[in-house]
Chains A and B, each alone.
Chain A
Amino acid sequence: MSANQSVAVEFKRVTKSFGAKRVLGDVSFQIDQGQALCLLGRSGTGKSVTLKLIMALMRPDSGEVWVDQDNVVGMGEHQLSLVRRKLGYLFQDAALFDSLTLYENLSLPLSRLTKKSKDEIDDVIRRVLTDVGLGADGAKYPSALSGGMKKRAGLARALVLEPKILLADEPSSGLDRITAAEIDELLMRRKLEHGTALIIVTHDVHGARRVADRIAVLDKGNLVAFGTVEQVSQSENDVARRLITE
C-alpha cells in the first residue's frame, strides 16, 4: 500500500519498451487527488503510453504504477476492473462505439457496473450530456457528430461513472481554440467541483498553462522536468523550457 492516501497516481521507476525501442525509462512521479497534471513532450515520447499504463491497458517492463493506493502492475482482471471504475479515460479520437448511439455509449458502463434503475440511468445520462453541452444529441450516432462534439461525447462517457481520476489524451487536438478552451473549461470544472484528479496529455501549451497544477515533460522516454509551470519554465532542460515558453 502507498503510504500517502491523498496520492491519486504514482509512477515508481517505470520502464516500458516496444521491441528495441525504449518508450519510458525509469520514470517516477506522483500526482495528488484534486490536482491537474499536464504531460508535455514531443510526439512519440511515451505520453499516451503513460496513460495506458495507468489504465493498465499495457503492462510496464519494470516498476510500479499506483492508482489510488493500488499497484495495478500484475493485478488480475477482477481487481483491475475494480480499479478501472475509479478512472475515466478520454481517448484521443474519443473512441466512441460506432454501432451505438451516444445514449447507448453512456449507458453501457452504467447498466453493467452500477445497480441503477433505468430511470436513474436516464437521469445520469441526461445530466452528464447537458453538462458537456450535448443534451439534445443522445439519439445520434458518433458518425453524425462533429470533431468537437465527439470530444465532448468522449468526455461525457469518461465522466459517467464519476471517476476519481480522469485521464485525457490530447483533449484539444484537432479543435479550434474556442472549442479547445471550452473542453479545458469542462475539465477544470470537474476538478474544482468534484475534486477529480486530472492527467492530461497535450501539445497545447496555452491549455496546459490554464489547467495544470503540475507539468511533466517527457523527452526520449525520460522525465526531464516536473513541477509547477514556473518551475518548468525555469528548468535547466532545454526541451522542457522551450516547450513551456514558446
Chain B
Amino acid sequence: MRWLSRLFEFVGKVGLFSLRVLIASVKPPFEFAQFCRQLAEVGNRSLALLIVSGFALGAVMTLHTRSTLVTFGATAMIPAVQAVSFFVEIGPLVAGLLLAGRVGSGIGAVLANMRASEQIDAIESLSVDSFKFLVVPRVLACTIALPFLTLFMDFAGLLGGFLSEELSSHIAPALYLNRAFDYLQWSNFIAPTLKTAVFGFIIGSVSAYFGYTTDKGAQGVGEAATNSVVVSSLLIIVADVLLIKCIFFLFPDTAI
C-alpha cells in the first residue's frame, strides 16, 4: 500500500506542477526570448532524429505490410495502409517517444544540474522568477514543437514507404501519393497531429518537474534524466489511449 500512496503523492505533485506551468504561461511577464531559444533547441536537437527514424520506420513498415498483403492480392492498398497508420498513430506516438528520449532527458538533466550548481538559486537571487524563466519556456517549446516535428516524421515515413515500394513494384510517385491519401480524411490527420501537443506538454512538464525539484545534488542529475524519459514515455502511452477515445468521440468517422 505504501507504493500506492507514493504513486498518488507523485501524481498530485506533477499535477500541481503542470497546473502551475499553465497558470504561469498566461500571466505576464512572458519570457519570449527564452521561449524562442528553447523552441530552436528542441527543433535542433530532434529534427534529424525524427526524420531519419520516420524514413526507416516507413521503409520497414512497407516491407512488412507487403509480405502480408501479397497473400491477399491487395498490394495496391500498401500506400493507404502506410499513410493511415503513420498519420493516425505511428507518427504521433513514435515522435512523442523519441522526443521524450532526446529532449526530455536533456531538460531533466540541465535543470537538475542548474539546481545542484545553485544556478537556480542565483536566478532567484537576481529577482528573476526561475520557474517562468526556466520551466515555462521549455514546456511551451515542447508543446508547440512536437506537432510540427510529427509532420516531418509522418512525411519522412511516407517517403521511406514510397522508396521501399518503388524498389519492389516500381510504382510511380503520383500514383503512390494518390493511393496514400485516398483513404485519409482531414480528421485522420488534424486530430492525431494535434494530440502530440499534449504529448509535448507531458514531456516538458514531467522532465522539468524532475529536474527543477531535485535536491540530490550531482546524483540527482542522472536520476532526473532517467526518470524524465521513463515517466514521460509511460505517460505518453497512457495519454494516447485516453486521447484516442476522445478523438473517436469527437470525430466518430475516424474510428476506422
B118 lies within 8 A of A93 (CB): yes
Is A84 in contact with B122, judged by CB distance below 8 angstroms?
Answer: no
Task: Decide: A85 near B124, CB < 8 A? Known: A93-B118, A95-B118, A97-B119.
Answer: no
Q: How far apart are the CA atoms of A157 and B121 in the complex, in Å? A: 13
Which of the residues A77, A89, A98 comes within 8 Å of B125, measured between beta carbons? A89
How far, in whole Å, are A10 and B125 apart by their CA atoms in the complex? 19
Nearest CB of chain A from residue B207's CB, rounded to whole Å: 17
Q: In this complex, what residue of A is CB-closest to B125?
A: A89
Contact A57 B119 (CB under 8 A): no
Task: Assess A87 versus B122: contact at CB under 8 Å? Given A93-B117, A95-B117.
Answer: no
Tell me the A residues contacting B by CB distance below 8 Å.
52, 55, 57, 77, 80-82, 84-85, 87, 89, 91-93, 95-98, 108-109, 112-113, 157, 161
| CB–CB B128/A108 < 8 A | yes
Q: Which chain A positions have C-beta within 8 A of B71?
A: none
Please tell me if the beta carbons of A108 and B126 are within 8 angstroms of each other in the complex.
yes
> Can you name 11 A-B residue pairings with CB atoms under 8 Å?
A57-B124, A89-B125, A91-B122, A92-B118, A95-B117, A95-B121, A98-B113, A98-B119, A109-B128, A113-B126, A157-B126
B127: which of A91, A95, A97, A113 is its contact (CB, 8 Å)? A113
B129 within 8 A of A: yes
Cβ contact within 8 Å between B121 and A77: no
- Which residues of B lie under 8 Å from residue A108 when comparing CB positions? 126, 128
**Which of A77, A95, A161 meets B122, CB within 8 Å?**
A95
Q: Is the CB of A91 within 8 A of B121?
A: yes
B113, B122, B127: the one within 8 Å of A85 (CB): B127
Q: Tell me the interface secondary structure of chain A in the complex.
A: mixed
A84 to B127, CA, bound (A): 6
In the bound complex, what is the Cα–Cα distance between A69 and B118 (angstroms)?
A: 27
- For the complex formed, measure the closest distance between the CB of B221 and the CB atoms of chain A, giving whole angstroms: 13
The distance from the CB of B128 to the nearest CB of chain A, in whole angstroms, is 6
CB pair B129 A84 closer than 8 Å: no
Instruction: Tell me the minimal C-beta distance from B133 to chain A in angstroms.
Output: 9
Q: How far is the CB of A141 from chain B (nearest CB, A)?
A: 13
A57 pairs with B125, CB closer than 8 A: yes
Q: How far is the CA of A80 from the CA of B125 in the complex (A)?
A: 10
Q: Are A95 and B126 in contact (CB under 8 A)?
A: no
In contact, B129 and A77 (Cβ under 8 angstroms): yes
Closest to A167 in B: B125
Contacts of B113 in A (CB 8 A): 98
Whose C-beta in chain A lies nearest to the C-beta of B128? Answer: A112
Interface residues of B in 118-174 (CB under 8 A from A): 118-119, 121-129
List A contacts of B128 (CB < 8 A): 108-109, 112
Whether A91 and B118, one on each chain, are in contact in the complex, defined by CB atoms closer than 8 angstroms, is yes
B125: A residues at CB distance < 8 A: 55, 57, 84, 87, 89
CB nearest to A105 among chain B residues: B122
Bound CA span A168–B118, Å: 13
Instruction: Provide the bound-state CA to CA distance between A82 and B127, in Å.
Output: 8
A77 to B113, CA, bound (A): 24
A97 touches B122 (CB 8 A): yes
In the complex, what's the smallest C-beta–C-beta distance from B126 to chain A, in angstroms? 4
